[in-house]
Amino acid sequence: MLLLTGFEPFGGAVTNPSRDIVLALDGTTAAGHRIAGAVLPCVFGAARRELARLLRQHRPTVVVCLGVAEGRAGISPERVAINLEDARIADNAGAQPRDRPVVRGGPAAYWSTLPVKAMVAALERERIPAAVSHTAGTFVCNHVFYALMHAVRRRRVRAGFIHVPAAVAPQGSPVPVLPLATQIRGIALALNEAARRRRDLRRAGGSEH
């Protein structure tokens, strides 16, 4: 079983490509793993609790969480989650934590256990823009990424987070976009690598931020 999550729209947006990708891929397969898709609330705490419920319900062997990062030009698997909440904007419940840990007493960071370089290589072969990222930010995306890695730290579960770019830019906005159909195809390729590979490639990796 492969658990795939995305987020509801936030920050005044009416859509979120991470949600749309999850809805498109729910019920399909990746390297023999059935994909169970779910949409998380963009709310500190509530997102973490819903993720914990999904982990109990599905008992997946692979977990990939998605989120949108406007301003990025390609799909970016995240390499590290940090134990910090420091919100530039309020979440969908109006909360805006500052300088607060995701897990009190938890380690400073967790590494993704997904084959991030292999996923990027698979996307590059199909000419889909992609790069490894070394920062998941400090908003709800990182909150979920860190909470995920903390939850599975003693389990044999490959897990991590992928940021996707905007699929549609507001009128007049210079934000780079990647069509939703291309994003769906790219995430399907990335999930196939995540499901079939236990070890990552050893190669120099491109980096977002």
Q: Which of 143, 163, 193, 208 is catalytic?
A: 163
What's the gap between Cα 39 and its chain centre?
Answer: 12
The single-letter DSSP state of residue 78 is B
Q: Which of 33, 65, 78, 193 is catalytic?
A: 78
65 is catalytic: no
| In 139-189, beta strands by DSSP E | 158-164
**171: Cβ–Cβ under 8 A, 6 or more apart, which residues?**
none
**139: Cβ–Cβ under 8 A, 6 or more apart, which residues?**
85, 87, 88, 89, 91
78 is catalytic: yes
- The SS3 call for residue 96 is coil
163 is catalytic: yes
Report DSSP letters for 103-151, one per residue.
STT--SEEE--S-HHHHHHHHHHTT--B-EES---SSHHHHHHHHHHHH
Judged by phi (left if over 0) then psi (alpha if -120 to 50, else beta), residue 99 lies in left
**71: Cβ–Cβ under 8 A, 6 or more apart, which residues?**
165, 175, 176
Q: Which of 42, 141, 143, 208 is catalytic?
A: 141
Residues belonging to the active site: 78, 141, 163
